[in-house]
Chain A
């Protein structure tokens, strides 16, 4: 994982949003939307998978949202769940409408460290969004000396309707990933797994001694997913978590201190942490 610098943002100032336009909009579930944003001409927007941006709906407010596309050409994607006025405005933003983008901020998943590993990606609910770019990059490198040997993607959701990126799951499986999804509740139209995502960890085919795991989802889910990974033999230092506490992100630059959790300023030192660093935060009753 690399600690980000603000050099990229500094050319326009870290507090000045660039104005992008909504170029693509797809409904993932009843309350989750993926927006493809088109940047201003000439803007090179470089980021690592797992980083986030501060998105502004002008006149409404600003929120931290994970980037859900891999680095490279194409629209800058963000997957947003409607939880309040700003995210509602984003989810309802029509094609062509302006969205302010500040970033990228935070640590990335550190995909360069995955050479010759078995990459195990565990996601719960919308936690798959910040992992989407990482999975795409891992699959692109799979089998190369700099890439993983295998990619395993394990996804949990409440119901089949709440699974996001269903087409991507099929694409990743076709590209050679071992993809399994599970839901908590389903009727008999669902032919997949029913149960916790931790069950998938127990049954997935990977070599725990070579595994590097990326985990993102609700904190309780992450705690038990990590437990299942460690029981399988994965080293705690080989597990990376995205602490989904973006609720406290304000400046994105480590100056305001709103996102401080214990010793971490999450917008700079996080939100992706190794398990040994994150374990103390996950065990706290109140943060």
Chain B
């Protein structure tokens, strides 16, 4: 990992294209964090204080159901964002997240980023415009998955087949 945190922030899809000064402003709140396969990255119910920008590897979001173990909700990979609960109260993780492969991330401290966005409303608005499509896409994907697209819909098959 020869590149500096700054140059890697510039390349991450969430931040790419932001004014370079704004990205430079995030650097003091950023650090490299790595996880081994099977490591718990986020814990359901714990305080949400970090935005993870995934660079390599995959993370699975899951929740625990009594008697059913951990149910996987979604997997996230390179270029994606892990953890949005740091942005809004009550700042609490809603799911567990576990590394299913060795994972490298840039971890941005949530409170630090929020303070930066509050200081500069134009930057705050720009970031909101970048985060909302992520939220929207995840919402839409969740809706499609609720449809059970692969099931035996009666319209897909003839009555005599």
Binding site for B on A (CB under 8 A): 61, 63, 81, 83-87, 124-126, 156-158, 162, 182, 184-188, 190-196, 198-199, 203, 217-218, 220-221, 224, 244, 246-248
Contacts A/B (CB < 8 Å), 20 sampled: A63-B161, A81-B152, A83-B157, A157-B150, A158-B149, A184-B145, A184-B148, A185-B72, A186-B72, A187-B70, A187-B72, A188-B62, A188-B69, A188-B72, A190-B72, A196-B141, A218-B149, A220-B147, A220-B149, A221-B150
Task: Pick the 3 closest A-B CB pairs, nearest first.
Answer: A125-B150, A247-B158, A188-B70
Report A-chain residues with C-beta under 8 Å of the C-beta of B150. 124-126, 156-158, 162, 184, 217-218, 221
Q: Which of A84, A125, A193 contacts B157 (CB 8 A)?
A: A84
Chain B interface mostly: loop
Asked if B144 is at the interface of the complex by the 8 Å CB criterion, the answer is: yes
Binding site for A on B (CB under 8 A): 58, 60-62, 68-75, 77-79, 98, 100, 141, 144-145, 147-153, 156-161
- Cβ-closest chain A residue relative to B64: A188
CB-based contact B141/A194 at 8 Å? no
Q: A63-B161, A83-B161, A220-B149 are in contact. Are A195 and B141 (CB under 8 A)?
A: yes
Q: Which of B58, B75, B79, B160 contacts A85 (CB 8 A)?
A: B160
Per the bound structure, the CA–CA distance linking A63 and B159 in Å amounts to 11
CB-based contact A199/B69 at 8 Å? no
Report B-chain residues with C-beta under 8 Å of the C-beta of A184. 145, 148-150
- Minimum distance in angstroms from A117 CB to a CB of chain B: 25
- Cβ-closest chain A residue relative to B65: A187
- Minimum distance in angstroms from B98 CB to a CB of chain A: 8
Q: A84-B158, A86-B160 are in contact. Are A193 and B75 (CB under 8 A)?
A: yes
Report B-chain residues with C-beta under 8 Å of the C-beta of A192. 75
CB-based contact A247/B70 at 8 Å? no
